[in-house]
Chain A
Amino acid sequence: MNTPVATANKFAAYICSGCGLGDKLKIAGLEKVAKTEGKMAVIKNHPFLCNAEGVKMIQDDIANEGVTHVCIAACSRRAKAEAFTFPTVAVSRANLREGVIWVVAEGAGHDEVRQEMAEDYVRMSCAEVKKMTLPGGNKKESASKKILVVGGGMSGMTAAQAAVDAGYEVVLVEKTGQLGGFANQMWKRMPFNAPYAEAQPTGAAELAAALSANPKVKVYLNSTVTETAGAPGRFAVKIAAESGSISEELCGAIVQASGFTTYPIEKLPELGGGQPNVVDQAGLEALAKAANGGPIKRADGREVKSVVFVQCAGQRDDSGTHLPYCSGHCCGTSIKQATYFKDQNPAIDAVVIYDDLRVPGMGEDFYRSAQNKGVIFTKGKASKVTGGDGCNVTFKDLILDEENTIPADLVVLATGQVPNAGVDLDEWTATATAAESGDEAAKTRKSALQKISVLNLNYRQGPDMPQLKYGFADSHFICFPYETRRTGIYAAGPMRRPMDMHQAQEDATGAALKAIQAAENAAQGRAAHPRAWDLSFPKARLEGCTQCKRCTVECPFGAIDEDEKRFPLFNEERCRRCGTCMGACPVRVISFENYSCDTVGMQVKAVNVPEEDEEKPRILILACENDAYPALDMAGMQRLVYSAFVRVIPVRCLGSVNTVWITDALGSGYDGVMMMGCQKGENYQCHFVKGSEMAYYRLSKIGDTLKGMGLEPERMQTYEIAITDGARVARLIDEYVAQLDELGPSPMKGFG
């Protein structure tokens, strides 16, 4: 295809009459709107626009007629995306199928409102495309595609191996003198292949040897990362060896696999922590390693004839003293360790006292195998352990509902995993602020924190990625586990959530692939997940900027730094194109080439708002393109009927909604605004993590503005919509229309 050199903008509208559009709508009417109101230079219709012939018609116009902006009035932007991809022009889509004919009630009685709805969408799409420009992208020929892996344990080594296997160079940084991490302390690991019945060798030494011998892997032992600057494709990383020498590496993306530490057994004196012959699982691994397949002996040299495992020791504790969470691996680990004894000598008594035995994955087979070998599993809660020559475990039997005591030669406490995810950013911010104002103690603490930090990012948001909960590193927990709020930096292994070795290896492989994807996208000047195809990036008109810092603070991804003059400095490779900065900006100077205050604002204005006496309310819906908009499409696909008085505009994230759109809409006579975004809070599903939360926060303050305009606060409503909410969303619309009907028409009508 020839790419024309666009000397002037030429706007074209293509209206499809297929899929029943031609039967339900007056296409001539739509063409008239595109011509007289949309001011489109070229207007064509086609009975099957997405077929080869229809697409070719558009392509020919682009190639031969100099069309630079295309408005396609057909189906949802989520449908036929491949057919309607024209990389050389700006494209807008009017959703006449899922958004109009599939959701407006059948019958001639609804012909008028159906046609009005379709005409509005054509008006909106024409208005939008006129404000769009084709994203130019920002290809970086010099971008690095090297993958930095921080942490040389099982997760880090697996990530490194996965990246190398995929053909990428790897830099592997390990703070100790040896690769292998916690796996080096282990005798065996839980089974990870069929029939999942016997503990297996860890394989850590073999993996470490393979990596060390691989010329594409550069291993830094006894080293830490002292500074990470830049962005995906151009991370400049300083690696300091123990000796003090500093190496520099340019990397494309980072996998952080900084692992965990075990919860200190000394904190559990009630369960015998610190007493002789009471060990944690790591301690038992050491004893098993020393036994090397022979009889396992205690520290005093006596052979163990009976052993009791106490599960959830210092875990799942709601009193606030110990770990509140379940570490996930410990049931499987205790099963494994009990079989160390049974495999060596079946006559040894091995009892596991558990509350809920949790064996994810294929662990159930391993559990059965241990039961078969004679390990006794007792559902109970241990209250007291006494160590010494003959240990005793007192517990409440939860099945028989009675107190019981079992004697044992050795007691093993299943303590949990404590993440090693670096610095807590909240503490960092507080400390850094205090240090800046001259507090000496804060200065000392700050340099201590810098030592704890894993990545030492030089971002204004702090030296590590944010922590989600209980000190575990950031992760889009529900939908995209490896994604973090630091673009191009992926969390893997038990620093992200507690897990066993098999899960950590799966995690590491996933994170490595995400890192590769991020490096590749950065090289092509494209966004990372979830808008991985997107070539646009935010631009700020700095002459209008008031340096309020809202964009830098609210950006969920730490993409915006401040330059020396305190203006926002966009690191576009870090940007995920959510537009939260655009929504935050009070002076509206931030925009994308294809998404801006104008592209949406003009759509809001393009809608034909009927006069009060027509009794046709207008409701604006700003729907998140990730979940809410698909849910609306889904309502259409299921032919669920909802009110024809709504006009839907997809937004990248509710976080990108600038309040000016709402005040403009309500000020020009719309009767109400529905905001539809993803679930926020602890179990957030927002694809941009904090976008929807930010939007709810901002919109909670809009009530006063509305009051100032003489409007009821009910005229703006927010909703959390999941992608599966097709039926619910249709119901919510009708309920809101009914509510507005009671409220009466907007007093602003006629002033717009």
Chain B
Amino acid sequence: MSEALGQANSQAIARYKNNFLKEVEERVEDGQWVKMCMQCGVCAGSCPFGPHWEHSPQKIFMMIRAGKREEVLTSDSMWMCTSCYNCVVRCPRKLPITHIMHGLANYAHRLGLVAKGQPTRDIAVLFWKNIIKGGRLNELTFSLSMYFRDGFGQGVKNAMAMQGIGLALVKTKRLNPMEILGGHMCKDKSGIQRMLAKAAEIEDKRRGMA
């Protein structure tokens, strides 16, 4: 954990003392819904990934209320969510469970509490960096950055393994090799970047994380 991130975490701990529920309500997207969970467990039963992650949404919400801050924010659960929305459709209390899970993931990332090498997080970060560069995703550079995220040697191996698919995509004009030079971007890319920066500023202010 970098020093800045560690500081953000300890500031949050100091600010909310033992009241993790309040922290979630104020700082996590749709976190104000957590208190409305009635612990029926329909989300846990509906999740196709149910058996494969540490804590079901039901448990996550209970842990938040019980003040289990570190366990929640370091759980792998919110990173395993595939956004199938089964839980949201079925929740009798209409909690936006998928959004809360993503909100928790985002918050844990912001505080630097996510385990190094968490694949979902890594992809998300690469995706975000790629897309804000020019306002649209460059599939070629995004794929390459994925291949090479574990070092150069592994990157070459990954690229070789995928070359058949890559060539087929080029042949059918689904992939333009020239995109490696930067590719086409949206018209006002600095405008997009300014807009995103402003949005982040507003959101941080609202969450008290400015």
Contact = CB atoms under 8 A, between A and B. Distances in A.
B38 A372 contact: no
A745 to B, nearest CB: 59
User: Which residue of B39, B59, B65, B68 has the most chain A CB atoms within 10 A of its CB atom?
Assistant: B39
Nearest to A373: B35
A376 B68 CA distance: 14
Interface in B44-66: 58-59, 62-63, 65-66
Contacts of B68: 400
B21 interface: yes
Nearest to A367: B38
A376 B59 contact: no
B14 interface: no
Contact of A376 (B21, B38, B58): B21
B59 A400 contact: yes
B65 A376 contact: yes
B36 A368 contact: yes
A517 B130 CA distance: 80
B39 A372 contact: no
A663 interface: no
A397 interface: yes
A372 B59 CA distance: 19
Contacts of A344: none
A360 to B, nearest CB: 15
B63 A400 contact: yes
Contact of A399 (B35, B39, B93): B39
B41 to A, nearest CB: 8
B35 A372 contact: yes
Interface in A362-383: 367-368, 371-372, 374, 376-379
Interface string A404-434: 1000000000000000000000000000000
A372 B21 CA distance: 13
Interface in A331-376: 357, 367-368, 371-372, 374, 376
Contacts of A357: 38
Contacts of A368: 36, 93
B62 A376 contact: no
A397 B38 CA distance: 14
Among A367, A368, A399, the one with the most B-chain Cβ atoms within 10 Å of its Cβ is A399
A357 B38 CA distance: 9
A45 B76 CA distance: 84
Interface in A149-195: none
Nearest to B19: A349
B38 A377 contact: yes
Interface string B166-201: 000000000000000000000000000000000000
B66 A404 contact: yes
A374 B22 CA distance: 10
From B21, B35, B93, residue with most partner A Cβ within 10 Å: B35
Contacts of B66: 378, 397, 400, 404
A365 to B, nearest CB: 12
Interface string A381-405: 0000000000000000101100010
A359 to B, nearest CB: 10
A348 B209 CA distance: 26
A378 B65 contact: yes
Nearest to A376: B65
A693 B62 CA distance: 49
A399 B62 contact: yes
25 contacts: A357-B38, A368-B36, A368-B93, A372-B35, A372-B36, A374-B35, A376-B35, A376-B65, A377-B38, A377-B39, A377-B65, A378-B66, A379-B39, A379-B62, A397-B62, A397-B66, A399-B39, A399-B58, A399-B62, A400-B59, A400-B62, A400-B63, A400-B66, A400-B68, A404-B66
* Closest 10 A/B residue pairs (Cβ): A399-B62, A379-B39, A371-B36, A371-B35, A376-B65, A400-B62, A399-B59, A399-B39, A400-B59, A374-B35
Interface of A: 357, 367-368, 371-372, 374, 376-379, 397, 399-400, 404
